C-alpha cells in the first residue's frame, strides 16, 4: 500500500495534499501508477512557492524528501518527516524540533550523487511505508 493510501485509509479520511512548485517525471510516474483519489488535492506544478508555503502551513504533518519545501516546513514549524537517500542530513537538516530524518544507514550513503554510482537505490528502496507512517503518526501525536 502506498503511503498516501495508508494515511487516507487509517487516520485522515478527508484530504491529503501534494504540492511542488515544479512538476517532475517521478511525481507524474507515481500519479500514473497509483492514481489520484478524489480526496487528494494535487497541486504539483500548479502553485507558486508562496502558495506552496501557505499550503504547507496548513498541514498537520508533512512528508518530504531533502528539498526546499522541507526547509519551508521546518521554518514554519510544521511536523515533518524527511526522507533522505543520497544526500547528507547532517549537512542539510532539517533543522527543526519537530522533524525526523528517515534514512537507511548503508555503506555508500550519503554518496551525494544524483544518480546511484552502484546502480541501485538501496538507500531509498529499503525505507518502508510502515516506517514512514509510524514516524509521521508519532510526530502528529506529539503535538
Nearest alpha-carbon partner for 136 in 87, 83, 69, 67: 83
Give the Cβ contact number of residue 116 at 10 Å.
16
pLDDT, tens digit (0-9, with 9 covering 90-100), for 62-77: 888 888 999 999 999 9
Give the Cβ contact number of residue 33 at 10 Å.
8
Domain residue limits, the chain? 3-141
Q: Is the pLDDT of residue 3 over 70?
A: yes
Average pLDDT over all residues of the chain: 80
* Structural fold of domain 3-141: Rossmann fold (3.40.50)
**Predicted local confidence at residue 102, as pLDDT:** 94
Average pLDDT on 76-100 reads: 92
pLDDT, tens digit (0-9, with 9 covering 90-100), for 94-127: 999 999 999 998 888 898 888 888 888 888 889 9
**Predicted local confidence at residue 13, as pLDDT:** 46
Amino acid at each position: 500500500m502506498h503511503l498516501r493510501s495508508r494515511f487516507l485509509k487509517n487516520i485522515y479520511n478527508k484530504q491529503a495534499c501534494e504540492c511542488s512548485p515544479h512538476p517532475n517525471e517521478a511525481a507524474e510516474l507515481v500519479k500514473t501508477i497509483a492514481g489520484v483519489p478524489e480526496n487528494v488535492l494535487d497541486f504539483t506544478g500548479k502553485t507558486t512557492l508562496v502558495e506552496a508555503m501557505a499550503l504547507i502551513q496548513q498541514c498537520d504533518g508533512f512528508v518530504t524528501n531533502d528539498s526546499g519545501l522541507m526547509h519551508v516546513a521546518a521554518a514554519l514549524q510544521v511536523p515533518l518527516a524527511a526522507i533522505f537517500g543520497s544526500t547528507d542530513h547532517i549537512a542539510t537538516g532539517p533543522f527543526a524540533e519537530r522533524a525526523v530524518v528517515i534514512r537507511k544507514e548503508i555503506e555508500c550513503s550519503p554518496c551525494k550523487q544524483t544518480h546511484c554510482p552502484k546502480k541501485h537505490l538501496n538507500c531509498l528502496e529499503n525505507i518502508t511505508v510502515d516506517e514512514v507512517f509510524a514516524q509521521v503518526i508519532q510526530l502528529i501525536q506529539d503535538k
